[in-house]
Amino acid sequence: YIMFLAVFPFEKPVGFNLKNLTFLLIPGFILGLIFAWDFVRDPMLWQKLYFSWIGRGPFDVFWEYIKGIDVHIALLAVLGVFYGWRTQNRLILLLTFNVAVPLIILMIASQFQFTHNRYLFITIVGSFVLAAYGAAWLVKDVFKGSCIVAAFVGVIILLIPIQDQVDYHMKLNGWRIDWKSGFSYVMDHADEDALVMSNNVDVGGVYAGMGVVGLDSRETAVSQINASQKQTWFVISGTARLDPAMYKWITENGTLVYTLPTKVEIFNYQPAAQ
């Protein structure tokens, strides 16, 4: 944002100088260092927590974000960005970077470490304010204050989120991972002595009412599977941490039998068939 203000012909704010920028940036840097100190002191901790687990690709991160704020809000936000560039509005420029920079960083990071769209919560306000600018520009300038267009835009802005709220609570489990339904499916279909494995052992133990074995590493889990020689069920979610090698083994050797809308996959493995 600061570089764009310096390079492009946006109106400079009062006090836009190196001294004030120093007072602004240094405390932020120190505060960030405090929060990240554990990782600075022990970089391997970052690798253990984030680099050893399966992640989603850039497109998944982008599309989940668009669905999260709604496609119509995203389109109006793009119009807001276009309006801000035309009018050299530096508030819109700031909001654009508030939305774009975290999203781009997360999309890049998703290629080599665990990520989750909840990390983008800081962009939500910016997206909606940009959408408001876009809607206002669309009605006032593009369609010259047309009441019909204003009513149409208002209906879209109001009705789609209402429908989303209904789906959010009635169908999508609040966008939470629906572990309960996943383990209920296994309880209804698994043999009594079946081995149940999951990348959420604690929740599995509560919902399944049986011993659930964790998916720590590929070597450990496969050894347990081979030793048991039992029917094995996997209840996993890509939005929870999972060893990529283990997930690959499951998809190659197991059969996907059920998928829930909230990112839960259920695989079945039959030792006798191997």
Q: What is the DSSP letter of 273?
A: G
pLDDT at residue 263 in the model: 76
Look at residue 145 and give its three-state secondary structure: coil
Domain ranges for the chain: 54-171, 179-273
pLDDT under 70: residue ranges of the chain: 47-56, 145, 171-175, 205, 207-210, 238-240, 272-274
pLDDT at residue 50 in the model: 64
First-to-final CA distance of the chain: 57
Return d(Cα 81, Cα 137) in angstroms, integer.
11
Of 203, 192, 274, 200, which is closest to residue 234 (Cα–Cα)?
200
Look at residue 50 and give its three-state secondary structure: helix
CB burial readout 117-130, b (16+ within 10 A) else e: beebeebeebbbbb
* β-bridge mates for residue 256, sequence order: 267
Q: What is the pTM of this model?
A: 0.63
With residue 267 as reference, give the H or E element that holds it: strand 264-269
pLDDT at residue 274 in the model: 47
pLDDT at residue 173 in the model: 66
pLDDT at residue 172 in the model: 65
pLDDT at residue 52 in the model: 54
Return d(Cα 256, Cα 270) in angstroms, integer.
12
Name the phi and psi angles at 167, rounded to 5.
-65, -40
Contacts of 65 (CB under 8 A, 6+ apart): 103, 117, 120, 123
Contacts of 173 (CB under 8 A, 6+ apart): 181, 262
Tokens of 145: 């204050």
Q: Are 137 and 92 in contact (CB under 8 A)?
A: no
